[in-house]
Amino acid sequence: MDRGGRLSTPPIRVDFGRLRYFIALAFETVGMPPADARVVAALMAEADLQGSDGHGVIRLAQYLKRIRAGGVNLNPQIRVVQERAAMALIDGDNGMGHLVMKRAAELAIEKARIAGVAWVGAQWSNHAGPASLYARMMLAHDMIGLYFAVGNANHLPPWGGLDMLLSTNPIAAAIPAGEEPPVVLDMATTVAAYGKVKAKAARGEMMPEGWMIDREGKPLTDPRRAAEGFLLPIGGYKGYGLALVVGLLAGTLNGAAMGKDVIDFNQDVSSATNTGQAIVAIDPAAFGDLAQFKSAVDKLVRDLRASERMPEVDAIRVPGDRSHALAAAQRVEGIAIAASLMQTLDRLAEQLDIPPLRTN
């Protein structure tokens, strides 16, 4: 599962509860209220559980650094600043994005139960981990969830341009099924995520054409030259348009950062990011019979899986299959933590004077 394993020692397995406990304890050492620390820790551990490992415990050190630098408000007054029957705008007061978006999702569910559909936007939020976490929150309520966010660093110029004005603004959607696992899409609007480029560089491999271009618009395939070029949006100008529209809906509409106002949270750890996100809850029961809807999703998913396959394709997958299977497996076997990440976490535990993850 873990690509790092091929180069070095195999990953270490820790169970969900231990990972959550470790993360919560780490946040408490920098002054996060324990109840909030538990919420953030559970969401970060869930990210690792489902294989969104670029958005789980790997971010812990970065979050702690930002908190220490005063870049995040540990005692935010998260509050609704605009509200109608089918919408709300939440001011996150620069709190942890996980807290803001969990609140947004809960409010969207509550409103959608009455109005049928509800859209909740957030301003003055922060990085909240993988998009799918929040879209998935609707599933337990038999609702459809959609999520849009402005990324926390600009990696894309407008199509044909050279100025980095857009982020890889992600889209997530979660649709409940009956007997089949839910359909869960979680995608950045670029062909490859920046993390995949870094992974290629670490392994000394070249990138395929289509991931990045240089400043002349020519294919860039050497990941060590990544800083000289740009990620390519999916479908060229189409992905540029999608990234822009997602940013307008999740950022501009909410009075949150977009374009030039986006702060690169890798470089700047102390300024408030004013991250914008939006979540939509749709109640299929408002549209008709819920059981009928779910069995229609089941039928569609089964028809897709049963499709004749191209040579050398072992199975037709539906969005969410991989994360669903991985979460189920890691719930039993424990969550795989790469050996190198575990070493980093060991040092972090020592600095924070908390029990290390590997033995806690």
Residue type present at position 335: I
In the complex, least distance from residue 306 CB atom to its own copies, rounded to whole angstroms:
8
Tokens of 265: 């949270």
> Phi/psi at 310 (nearest 5 deg)?
-70, 160
Query: Given phi > 0 = left and psi -120 to 50 = alpha, else beta, which region is 90?
Result: beta
CB closer to its own copies, 77 vs 307 = 307
CB closer to its own copies, 104 vs 173 = 173
CB closer to its own copies, 11 vs 319 = 319
Token pair 């397995």 in the structure block, residue: 13
Closest CA to 333 of 48, 129, 130, 57: 48
Please state, in angstroms and rounded to a whole number, the distance separating the CA atoms of residues 188 and 292: 31
In the complex, least distance from residue 200 CB atom to its own copies, rounded to whole angstroms:
17
In the complex, least distance from residue 144 CB atom to its own copies, rounded to whole angstroms:
7
In the complex, least distance from residue 101 CB atom to its own copies, rounded to whole angstroms:
17
- Residues paired with 125 in a beta bridge: 275
Query: Given phi > 0 = left and psi -120 to 50 = alpha, else beta, which region is 160?
Result: left
Q: What is the DSSP string of 312-328?
A: T------TTHHHHHHHH
In the complex, least distance from residue 115 CB atom to its own copies, rounded to whole angstroms:
4
CB closer to its own copies, 56 vs 239 = 239
CB closer to its own copies, 24 vs 109 = 109
To which H or E segment does residue 50 belong?
none
CB closer to its own copies, 223 vs 247 = 247
Please state, in angstroms and rounded to a whole number, the distance separating the CA atoms of residues 244 and 237: 10
CB closer to its own copies, 198 vs 305 = 305
CB closer to its own copies, 139 vs 286 = 286
3 state DSSP class of 71: coil
Start-to-end C-alpha separation, the chain: 24
Please state, in angstroms and rounded to a whole number, the distance separating the CA atoms of residues 197 and 61: 21
CB closer to its own copies, 16 vs 159 = 159
Please state, in angstroms and rounded to a whole number, the distance separating the CA atoms of residues 110 and 212: 42
Residue pair 348/22 in contact (Cβ under 8 Å)? The answer is no
Closest CA to 129 of 93, 98, 173, 94: 98
In the complex, least distance from residue 247 CB atom to its own copies, rounded to whole angstroms:
8
